[in-house]
A and B are shown apart, each in its own frame.
Chain A
Amino acid sequence: MQGTLAGPVRRFEPVLPWILPVLVIAVWQLLGSLGILSNRVMPTPVQVAEAAVRLTLSGELPHSLAVSTWRALAGFLIGGSIGFLFGLVNGVARLAEKLTDSSIQMIRNIPHLAMIPLVIVWFGIGDEGKIFLVALGVLFPIYLNTLHGIRSVDPGLIEMGRVYGLGRGALYRKVILPGALPSILVGLRYALGIMWLTLIVAETISSKDGIGYMAMNAREFFQLDVVVLCILLYALLGKASDLMAKGLERSWLKWHPHFGRQSAKRPAA
Chain B
Amino acid sequence: MASAFRQAKRETAGGLTGDWAGGPWTETPDRQTGFSRQVTPGRPAGGPRTEDEMGIRDREKSSCGLSVTLRRVTKQFGDGPAVLNGLDLAIHAGQFVAIVGRSGCGKSTLLRLIAGLDAPTGGELLRDGRPAAGLDPYTRVMFQDSRLLPWLTVEENVTLGVHGLGKREAKEKAREALRLVGLEERARDWPSVLSGGQKQRVALARALVGNPRLLLLDEPLGALDALTRIEMQRLIERLWQKQGFTALLVTHDVGEAVALADRVVMIERGTIALDLEITLGRPRVRTPDSPTSKAASSTGCWSRTTAPMRGRKRLTKFRRNGPFCAGRRAKRPAGVGSLPHEVHETDETRT
Residues of chain A at the chain B interface (Cβ within 8 Å): 154, 156-157, 159-166, 174-175, 178-179, 181, 253-257, 260, 262-263, 266-269
Contacts and interface: CB of A to CB of B under 8 A. Distances in A.
Nearest to A254: B190
17 contacts: A162-B117, A163-B115, A163-B117, A163-B135, A163-B140, A163-B141, A164-B160, A164-B161, A164-B210, A165-B210, A179-B151, A255-B152, A255-B153, A256-B151, A266-B193, A269-B194, A269-B195
Nearest to B137: A165
A178 B145 CA distance: 19
B143 interface: yes
Contact of B151 (A156, A160, A255, A268): A255
Contacts of B33: none
B149 interface: yes
A255 B160 contact: no
A47 to B, nearest CB: 50
A255 B147 contact: no
Interface in B174-200: 190-195
A163 B152 CA distance: 17
Contact of B145 (A156, A179, A257): A156
A266 B135 CA distance: 38
Given A174-B149, A174-B152, A255-B151, A159 B117 contact: yes
Contacts, number: 63
A263 B150 CA distance: 12
Interface string B132-163: 00010101110101010111110000001101
Question: Which residue among A159, A181, A254 has the maximum number of chain B CB atoms within 10 Å of its CB?
Answer: A159
B206 interface: yes
A156 B152 contact: no
Given A263-B192, A269-B195, 8 more contacts: A163-B139, A164-B210, A165-B135, A165-B210, A174-B152, A174-B160, A179-B151, A255-B150
Contact of B135 (A162, A181, A268): A162
Contacts of B140: 163-164
A255 B135 contact: no
A267 B137 CA distance: 36
B149 A175 contact: yes
Given A162-B135, A165-B163, A266-B193, A178 B151 contact: yes
